[in-house]
Amino acid sequence: MAVIAVTKERRDAETRVALTPDTAKKLIASGFSVIVESGAGASSYYPDADYAAAGAELGDLAAVLGKAEILFKVRGPTAPEIAGLKAGAIVVGMLNPHQDKATLEALAAQGISAFSMEFVPRITRAQVMDVLSSQANLAGYRAVLEATHAYGKVLPMMMTAAGTVAAAKVFVMGAGVAGLQAIATARRLGAVVTATDVRPAAKEQVESLGAKFVAVEDEEFKAAETAAGYAKEMSAEYQAKQAALVSEHIRKQDIVITTALIPGRPAPRLVSAAQAASMRPGSVIVDLAVEQGGNVEGVVAGEVSETGGVKIVGYANLPGRIAADASALYARNLFAFAGLFLNKDGAFAPDFEDEILKAALVTQGGAVVHPALAR
């Protein structure tokens, strides 16, 4: 049976790991062999002993890559890792295909069939493989915790003998998976929450969580969602109207969390420097889109910057700050995806015409093959 290999993450101080001991055990039960680089799970608090107990083999990088028929990664493999793979191997991970084209070209040159989990289609049978949702859920949760830490005040209303403390006002911009989790988390902590999104379907979702929806609800707004459920980029006219509404609203907020992303494009600018400056000193903005350029003007990737007493949190990879749970969810996504490599008899026989595999395939036969990238 095919050998699934897992190596340490070597990019961007990544703390997650692509496979947990529990998922390794399930893969072995499915018929795969598993080999893990020693120390791969250390940053996620999964020790080598747990992988060994699950039935996985442990080895150094060269040994792991030499045996790999399928390499599971969180981030894209490094150049030395790619060079250590044999032609015909399979790589599965979050490969950042729109931005990290050098890695795709290196994978293609090595004769690797690579699958980018960001391209898994949003269809019913692929829901369990949706890494964007599993990681965004945790990012939305963590964003509220980071905001609370930076805020310096309590979130819920508190009535004490010394007087009443008002509840914090939290505004979430973008009501996708991350945004909805941020809304739910802020509500659980007792904040007064409002939210906005350009997708009409988001209004009902926001209100179902007990938050108030804020948006310019014109004709463009009613058609602002793709068939795949993603937000469309809005016209300059709509953005101006929405900005005016948001500017007045944001001025009154204590915490703003921005989550808006458009696949394959830089993150849309949602908060200008002037809007940020209009907030009261001590207020906090958390930008979840910082890795794609940021939603907030002046955000600094990896840092907490401050202007006029307003803190702008630009931490990248918030799921990596909850590495154990983020790894566990991601590994379950990959376990489900690996099942597509097996035929009905349980033999390793990937059907590259399967709609999920075909949608996620980015390199094969020495070339970058995904239509969105080949263009």
- Evaluate whether residue 125 is within a structural domain: no
221 & 315 share domain: yes
Q: Is 130 a catalytic residue?
A: yes
What is the amino acid identity at position 239? Q
Whether 25 and 55 have beta carbons less than 8 Å apart is answered as yes
Whether 142 and 135 have beta carbons less than 8 Å apart is answered as no
Helix, strand, or coil here: 86?
Answer: coil
Looking at residue 228, its pLDDT comes to 61
Looking at residue 229, its pLDDT comes to 61
Whether 333 and 117 have beta carbons less than 8 Å apart is answered as yes
Q: Is 239 a catalytic residue?
A: no
- Evaluate whether residue 336 is within a structural domain: no
| One-character DSSP codes across 279-297 | SPTT-EEEETTGGGT-SBT
Q: Which residues contact 267 (CB under 8 A, 6 or more apart)?
A: 260, 261, 289, 290, 292, 293, 294, 295
111 & 144 share domain: no
Count structural domains, the chain.
Answer: 2
- CA–CA distance, 295 with 265 (Å, rounded to integer): 12
Looking at residue 226, its pLDDT comes to 65
Active-site annotation holder among 10, 11, 122, 188: 122
Helix (H), strand (E) at residue 113 = strand 113-116
368 & 243 share domain: no
Whether 41 and 47 have beta carbons less than 8 Å apart is answered as yes
Active-site annotation holder among 230, 247, 269, 305: 230
354 & 230 share domain: no
27 & 114 share domain: yes
Looking at residue 297, its pLDDT comes to 96
What is the domain range of residue 167?
Answer: 136-321
115 & 187 share domain: no
- Evaluate whether residue 47 is within a structural domain: yes
pLDDT (tens, 9 = 90+) of the chain, 375 residues, equals 899 999 999 998 899 999 999 999 999 999 999 999 999 999 999 999 999 999 999 999 999 999 999 999 999 999 999 999 999 999 999 999 999 999 999 999 999 999 999 999 999 999 999 999 999 999 999 999 999 999 999 999 999 999 999 999 999 999 999 999 999 999 999 999 999 988 888 999 999 999 999 988 888 887 776 666 666 777 888 888 888 998 999 999 999 999 998 888 899 899 999 999 999 999 999 999 999 999 999 999 999 999 999 999 999 999 999 999 999 999 999 999 999 999 999 999 999 999 999 999 999 999 999 999 875
> By CB neighbour count within 10 A (0-12 exposed, 13-18 middle, 19+ buried), where does 27 fall?
buried
Active-site annotation holder among 38, 133, 247, 272: 133
Q: Which of 28, 22, 29, 74 is nearest to 50 (CA)?
A: 22
- CA–CA distance, 36 with 4 (Å, rounded to integer): 8
Whether 33 and 338 have beta carbons less than 8 Å apart is answered as no
Q: What is the CATH number of the domain that holds 357?
A: 3.40.50.720
State the sign of the Cα–Cα–Cα–Cα dihedral 151, 156, 157, 163.
negative
Helix, strand, or coil here: 304?
Answer: strand
- Evaluate whether residue 165 is within a structural domain: yes
Which residue's entry shows tokens 């459920």? 229
Q: Is 122 a catalytic residue?
A: yes
295 & 192 share domain: yes
Active-site annotation holder among 60, 99, 125, 127: 127
Active-site annotation holder among 44, 116, 130, 332: 130
Q: Is 133 a catalytic residue?
A: yes
Looking at residue 255, its pLDDT comes to 98
228 & 172 share domain: yes
